[in-house]
Structure 1
Amino acid sequence: MLDRCERAGDRHSAAYALLGVATTLEDDLESALAAATRAADRFLTLGDRMAC
């Protein structure tokens, strides 16, 4: 899903997809935190302060 959103240029949906990725990484908390942080950074870049 993340790749598809990024290819389509849908940065907002890609940020939400990153949050989904983070939730699947419960056994790898470092990677989960990295994905969640990337999502938050994207939301902030897009000006969406409600999502992060």
Structure 2
Amino acid sequence: MSQTEGARLFRETWIAGVHRHFPGEQKGRFVATSRTAQICGHFEAIEEAPG
């Protein structure tokens, strides 16, 4: 199996698992790395802070 075929198989398997655990219509969503999510969450908390 080539690297491209392996990557495609991994992607298809990953997506099938997501659909199995989260059935229904999927919404387009960016899945951030944990560090990116922490930074975005930090900025959102600052923007929502009173004063």
Per the shorter chain, which TM-score range? 0.3 to 0.5
Per the normalisation by structure 1, the TM-score is: 0.39
Which structure has the greater CA radius of gyration?
2
Higher relative contact order (CA 8 A, sep 6+): 1
Per the normalisation by structure 2, the TM-score is: 0.40
